A = this chain, B = another copy of it.
Amino acid sequence: MASSVERLSEPANPSIREQTPAWIGVDWGTSNLRVWVMNSDNHPLHALESSAGMGTLEPSQFEPTLLGLIEPYLDASRVLPVICCGMVGARQGWSDAGYLTTPVDQQSRAQAHFTQTNDKRISVHILPGVKQLSPADVMRGEETQIAGLLLQTPTFSGTVCLPGTHTKWVSIENSTINSFQTCMSGELFALLSKQSVLRHSVQSENWSDEAFDQAVASVIEKPETLASALFSLRAESLVNAVPDEVLRSRLSGLLIGAELASCRSLWSDKKVMIVGDAKLAGLYAQAMSTLDSQVNLVEGDAMTLSGLIANYQSQLELQR
């Protein structure tokens, strides 16, 4: 198990730093583990990160991995609640937290899966994912970011787009996840740019907005051109010596354009909130800037923490 721990932030005010932790928020994805040590006002006292993602761990390794990070904050005299979201709740994770089935409203989101631990100083709950029966779809982690968004903007109605390896397009109304759709453009980009014949033609640190925009527009207009447009990136490099940065930007534009074409009903004439890291979410916003939708950007990590807070509050209320 290769892992590294990094202290992400340290509150400037010593009085906050010395406060007693009230609970722990955990975002445990396939390749990363993030931990927030929270006070009773729901402010983070410490933020920690490790590369010990769910994909690198056996079920028996989750508890010691978590304890290795949070040991300094534990106290034998009390039980610290730990709320986890993400792939940690998959069948191959720490403990199968199952799925809620769409439509998923605020009340059902309060559910969490209690996970037995050997260490009695913690009480671990893992949030379930969300599934849709037809067309079949699944998410695990994004539902928490949406809960966070709805904690901050309870009246939001429209589509939430969460770009990533597997981008989610989620239709929200009355604080309810009605339906959603997943596209694997992020994974396709990684496979094609690193492992296909195109890898010889798209290795560049630079970027061309013009090439990206043109590719997006061409695929949205004619989605059927995608299959032949992909190999043409290699051919343009061999035949016309088109620079790698243009071809890399074009590959990204082709894949995001194909995704937009497949999700048209979810953004056309809709309010769209894009939740993610600045770079990737920014590309989606750029691709959509000329389309018939109102697009706003929100930072993804902040929404995850907000979603964990929303769930912690729900747990407290359930206990009253």
Which residues of A come within 8 Å of B, CB atoms?
99, 131-133, 135-138, 166, 181-185, 187-188, 191-192, 195-197, 223-232, 234-236, 238-240, 242, 255, 258-259, 261-264
B residues near A224, Cβ cutoff 8 Å: 223-224, 258, 261-262, 264
Q: In the complex this chain forms, how many copies of it are found?
A: 2
B residues near A238, Cβ cutoff 8 Å: 131, 136, 138
B residues near A192, Cβ cutoff 8 Å: 191
- 27 A–B contacts from the bound complex (CB under 8 Å): A131-B235, A135-B228, A136-B236, A136-B238, A136-B240, A138-B235, A182-B232, A183-B227, A183-B228, A183-B231, A184-B197, A184-B231, A185-B227, A187-B196, A188-B196, A191-B192, A223-B226, A224-B258, A224-B261, A224-B262, A226-B262, A227-B255, A227-B259, A227-B262, A228-B259, A228-B262, A229-B262
Q: Give CA–CA (A254, B278) in the complex, Å.
A: 32
Are A166 and B197 touching (Cβ within 8 A)? yes
B residues near A132, Cβ cutoff 8 Å: 235, 239
Q: Give CA–CA (A223, B228) in the complex, Å.
A: 12
B residues near A223, Cβ cutoff 8 Å: 223-224, 226
Q: When A228-B263, A262-B225 are in contact, do A239 and B137 touch as well, CB less than 8 Å?
A: yes
Are B240 and A133 touching (Cβ within 8 A)? yes
